[in-house]
Every structure is written in C-alpha cells, then in structure tokens.
C-alpha cells in the first residue's frame, strides 16, 4: 500500500471518529494512532459478526472440512515462522 493510499483511508477513519492521533513524545513528526471509543466499539461489533459467520461456516462444513482447512492454513506458514505462530495459541 502506498503512503498516499494509507493516508486517505486513515484520514477517513479519523474524520469518522474511529481513530485518535497525537504527535510522538520524542519525535513530533510521528503520528501515534489508537482506536477511539467508537473505534473500539466498531472493532468489537465486526469481530462478533465475524465469529458468528465463522462458527456457522464451520458447523455447515463439518469437522473433516474444518480440519482440512486448518491443515492448509498451517501449510502456508513458512517453516521458520511456525514455532512463533503455534506459540500464540499454545498449539
């Protein structure tokens, strides 16, 4: 993504009140970003909807399909990164 494209999206999120910005403490050229309360609420709603859709898709596909999907996804992780990724879930 280009800096210009990111800037457009970021500015839109700021204008909509989802992102708050402030300058860096040691370098005023930095732009420190964080979710606003409205941004946190939107994030929670999006992830709730995603969890519901994923649960429904998993239920419809069946355990064999879910297991196969996760094997494919794990196969996409480079060998050098697998211990780091699997360490996140304790797997």
Instruction: Give residue 8's domain range.
Output: 1-35
Same domain, 23 and 45: no
Same domain, 59 and 82: yes
Q: What is the mean pLDDT of residues 16-42?
A: 94
Q: In angstroms, how far apart are the furthest CA atoms of the chain?
A: 53
Same domain, 21 and 45: no
Residues 46/20, Cβ–Cβ less than 8 Å: no
Task: For 49-88, write each residue's pLDDT tens digit.
Answer: 999 999 999 999 999 999 999 999 999 999 998 888 877 7
Cα–Cα distance measured from residue 88 to residue 90, given in angstroms and rounded to the nearest whole number: 6
Same domain, 25 and 43: no
Same domain, 41 and 76: yes
Which pTM does this prediction carry? 0.67
Q: How many domains does the chain have?
A: 2
């Amino acid at each position: 993504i280009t800096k210009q494209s990111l800037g457009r999206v970021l500015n839109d999120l700021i204008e909509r009140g989802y992102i708050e910005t402030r300058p860096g403490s040691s370098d005023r050229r930095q732009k420190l970003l964080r979710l606003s309360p409205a941004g946190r609420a939107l994030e929670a709603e999006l992830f709730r909807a995603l969890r519901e859709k994923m649960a429904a898709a998993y239920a419809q596909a069946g355990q064999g399909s879910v297991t196969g999907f996760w094997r494919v996804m794990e196969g996409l992780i480079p060998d050098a990164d697998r211990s780091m990724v699997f360490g996140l879930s304790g797997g």
